[in-house]
Amino acid sequence: MKKKYVLLLFLLSAYCGYSQQKFKITYEQLKEYEGIYEYQNNTTLQIAASPKDTILYAIINESKYALKPSEKDIFLNMSKEKVTFLRNSASAITGYTSQEKIFNLISKKVVFPKEMWYPRLNSKDFKYSYQPPKKDLDGLLTGTLDNTGLDKALLNEMMQKIVDGTYANVHSVLIIKDGKLVFEEYFYEYNKTKLHEMRSATKSIISALTGIAIDKGFIKSKTETVLSYFPEYTFKNLTDDKRQITIENLLTNQSGLDCDVSNPKSEGNETTMNYSDDWIQFTLDLPMIDVPDGRGMYCSGNPITVGRIIEKATKMTLPDFAKQTLFKDIGIKNFKWNFKPDASSSETFCQVYLTPRDMAKFGLLYLNKGMWADKQVISKNWIEESLTKHSVIQGVNYGYLWWLKYLEVNGTRFSGKAAQGNGGQKIYVWEDQNMVTVITGGNYNSQSPSDELIQKYILPAFKKK
């Protein structure tokens, strides 16, 4: 009897182990799914097989999202939802289904460059040798690491770990120290002229444009009420509290509206907003769950609404206003910004695309209290107010669409001001170190190593001994 019991346990254990094994698939089998496919809102996406990690990726715009194999022709997206590929009678892939919708294969004719999968093509034999950034005609001064206090050995180690894959999907690392770009490295298919998504770091650009609109008299005051800018709308859930929401409340994410990305039950769900016909209407229709200037709640509808207010006040599109003011003054010529807060922006999120060098210039502008080449681009007062604590969002101090964070290095706290976005986009202003760090990445909807890179390889050089 005991032998039978042991045998039964063994068989049960073996069965459970087998049933929990992940579905295996080869790179050559994955390539069968590659192509251009239909996607939501009459857009397209690409499906690509990675030779580096043998994983299938859905590429929407330039963002890669992993599809993990589950069963034959069935994959799980990052939300654990099934993506099932369809075949015809000849067993050829014809499309896929997701959330009960069918999306057809458009073309198999697509080429994915090898560079997009590897931090550096020679990663196995990579040995880092520091090269100072080259001077360009973009208004950035350049220099070397000499006399900056930065630790060359630590930066060398950081480069090795990015290239060997310890820190995956890091697209660029830039450091401005004492007013000069002294470190500039790119990975995968990225380079200094290629535009990069900013995601929610765009919010800090909107904050800057708000200050400029006030400085120039287009907007009278940050205390103006939001609803006064939208007399053509009829809003739901209208209350006296809602009528009192100010521009400043939107900038500090203290609108009081039921919109909180950290609360899955919030009516202001960001994905729902993204697929709505009018993001302003959607946001300002939400019920109030707090008073204005009350609890801080991270809500993308707030800065989007500020962006529309700027458009109404200036009688310009937001990108045109940026082009004629902020971007012109600090020498940003190459950018992409489609600010259309409706369903057409459901996958681009009304975000700005900049080069990392231009992101660094934006950070430097804030480090220099709004000054650029002897011109006060943004008033010093607005910069200081923007980087002062007004609320607390998800346990972190918050200014005017800027995160006021600290990173801890062996017991020492370093205070920084951050514009940041999904995927690992980080523009940090380090006032005490007279430094700006920029990191871009592709870790969308997953943990980014950006802060860890700064903690381990950049800030330790400035730890007081």
281 with 429, same domain: the answer is yes
Cα separation, 79 vs 294, whole angstroms: 32
The verdict on residue 130 lying in a domain is no
Q: Per the structure block, which two tokens stand in for 10?
A: 């063994």
Instruction: Find, among 208, 217, 187, the residue nearest to 307 by Cα.
Output: 208
Q: Per the structure block, which two tokens stand in for 27?
A: 């790179």
Give the pLDDT score at 5. 44
Cα separation, 166 vs 172, whole angstroms: 15
225 with 101, same domain: the answer is no
Give the pLDDT score at 457. 98
Alpha carbon distances (Å) from 212 to 2, 326, 368, 369, 383: 81, 8, 16, 13, 10
DSSP assignment, residue 448? -
298 with 415, same domain: the answer is yes
The verdict on residue 266 lying in a domain is yes
Residue 29: domain span: 18-112
**Is residue 52 a contact partner of residue 118, using CB atoms and an 8 Å limit?**
yes
247 with 371, same domain: the answer is yes
The verdict on residue 376 lying in a domain is yes
pLDDT tens for residues 43-54? 999 999 999 999
Average pLDDT over residues 254-259: 98
Give the pLDDT score at 273. 97
pLDDT class of 236 with cuts at 50, 70, 90: very high
Alpha carbon distances (Å) from 388 to 170, 261, 298, 382, 385: 30, 23, 17, 10, 5
pTM: 0.94
Give the pLDDT score at 3. 44
The verdict on residue 147 lying in a domain is no
Residue ending a domain, choose from 91, 112, 133: 112
Residue ending a domain, choose from 112, 145, 180: 112
Total domain count for the chain?
2
Give yes or no for residue 13 having a pLDDT over 70: no
The verdict on residue 78 lying in a domain is yes
Give the pLDDT score at 75. 97
List, in order, residues 6 or more apart from 8 with CB less than 8 Å away: none
CATH number of the CATH domain containing 434: 3.40.710.10
pLDDT tens for residues 52-79? 999 999 999 989 999 999 999 999 999 9
Give yes or no for residue 263 having a pLDDT over 50: yes
Give the pLDDT score at 347. 93
Residue ending a domain, choose from 112, 134, 162: 112
The verdict on residue 170 lying in a domain is no
The verdict on residue 368 lying in a domain is yes
Q: Strands of 391-393's sheet, edge to edge?
A: 180-186, 170-177, 435-441, 425-430, 412-421, 403-409, 396-398, 391-393
What values do phi and psi take at 126, rounded to 5? -70, 130
The verdict on residue 118 lying in a domain is no
379 with 264, same domain: the answer is yes
CATH number of the CATH domain containing 72: 2.40.128
